Amino acid sequence: YCVLGFEVDTVNSVQFSNHTGYDHWTGQVMTANELHTLYDGLKLNGVNRYDYVLTGYTRDASFLEMVVDIIRELKCQNPNLVYVCDPVMGDQRNGDGYMYVPEHLLPVYKEKVVPVADIITPNQYEAEILAGKKMNTEKEALEVMDLLHAMGPETVVITSSDLPSSLGKDYLIALGSLRKIKADGTLVKERIRMEIPKVDAVFVGTGDLFTAMLLAWTHTHPNNLKMACEKTASALQHIVRRTINHARGKEPGMWVGGGMLGWGGGTWDGWGGLHCWVVGCRVGWGGCSAEGSVRH
């Protein structure tokens, strides 16, 4: 199907009853073999040419390694392919970080996946464990982003952090960094900081949604990370506000959960012709979350 002008092929990396923030969850984790089988089908039909690949939540190390093999092959098919990786591993609550996927995935992300990624979207905790360095100040955050660039990706966006905001404690900080070596050898560097008004609730799936939106907006604004991030954050802000209003009974007529969140204004039609492969979307029901939106 076609969303925001992208024709998207989705592959489940897991199929769970609900997201793992619930007390219980059941379902299947897809294996490397199963992914390979699907990819083989695409190859046999000669339809394995993509403009973008986006990966998210995964629990299986060999699956991740297979993703890397496939990315390499897809990049041979299309050298301009952009791989957008959300290294979904964990989060922090009240300053304490924790992993919600098996710990042995970290070295696979570090040594194999991040090096082939063009854009990565870790949260603060994920950025810190990938770089092996804490970020307590903005200066340290810039150093962490430089360490992540050195691992491979041209674009690093830290989707949320608890760095202090000059606007007060009701704002969360997101940071972005674009580091590009142009054909003539000059280094282009763009750093951005966004202060995002906090909604007093915990959302699951917003990181996934952020990554999907960033993919779409960096396509429209390939050399303007600020613009791409602003448009991404704007959509997120609309969606979390509508979600919380709905959850509190203030907004009628909208579905929450199961993949039917409304968009907060703007028209994104008519981009046409792009082909994108999303690995790692999830199907979930119930709760106050934005999870369906990742299926873009």
Ligand X SMILES: Nc1ncnc2c1ncn2[C@@H]1O[C@H](COP(=O)(O)OP(=O)(O)O)[C@@H](O)[C@H]1O
Ligand Y SMILES: Cc1ncc(COP(=O)(O)O)c(C=O)c1O
156 lies in the binding site for ligand X (CB under 6 A): no
Asked if 196 and 237 touch (Cβ cutoff 8 Å), the reply is: yes
Residue 237: both structure tokens together: 């802000």
**Catalytic residue of the set 51, 170, 208, 269:** 208
Nearest approach in angstroms of CB 26 to ligand X is: 22
State the number of CA atoms in the 13 A half-sphere of 37 facing the CB.
Answer: 5
**Which residues in 16-75 contact ligand Y (CB under 6 A)?**
16, 19-21, 57
- Total of chain residues touching ligand Y, rule CB under 6 A: 14
Number of H helices, E strands in the chain: 8, 13
String of contacts with ligand Y for each residue 265-284, x by CB under 6 A = -----------------x--
By the rule CB under 6 A, 236 interacts with ligand X: yes
Q: Which one, 5 or 21, has the nearer CB to ligand Y? A: 21
Does the footprint of ligand X cover residue 160 (CB under 6 A)? yes
Q: Considering the complex, what minimum distance in angstroms separates the CB of residue 90 from ligand Y?
A: 9
Give whichever of 176 and 205 is closer to ligand Y, judged by the CB atom: 205
Distance, in Å, from the CA atom of 293 to the CA atom of 205, rounded to the nearest integer, reads: 8
Tokens of 260: 């039917």
Total interface residues for ligand X by CB under 6 A: 16
> Do 126 and 110 meet the contact criterion of CB atoms below 8 Å apart?
no
The backbone torsions φ and ψ at residue 125, rounded to the nearest 5 degrees and listed phi first, read -60, -45
204 contacts ligand Y (rule: CB under 6 A): yes
Long-range contacts of 220-227 (CB under 8 A, 24+ apart): 220/271, 223/178, 223/188, 225/155, 225/157, 225/176, 225/177, 225/178, 225/190, 225/192, 226/176, 226/190, 226/192
Nearer to ligand Y (CB atom), residue 263 or residue 285: 285
Q: Could you say which residues in the range 96-115 bind ligand Y, by CB under 6 A?
A: 100
The residue within the footprint of ligand X, chosen from 199, 227, 247, 274 (CB under 6 A), is: 199
Backbone angles phi, psi at 211, to 5 degrees: -65, -45
Tell me, yes or no, if 208 is annotated catalytic.
Answer: yes
| Site of tokens 């991030």 | 229
Residue located via tokens 């007060």:
168
Residue 142 within binding range of ligand X, rule CB under 6 A: no
User: Among all residues, whose Cβ is closest to ligand X?
Assistant: 207
Tokens describing residue 3: 């969303």
**90 lies in the site for ligand Y, by CB under 6 A:** no
Residues that bind ligand Y (CB under 6 A): 14, 16, 19-21, 57, 88, 100, 204-208, 282
What amino acid positions are annotated as catalytic residues?
A: 208
Residues that bind ligand X (CB under 6 A): 91, 123, 159-160, 174, 196, 198-199, 201, 203, 206-207, 210, 233, 236, 240
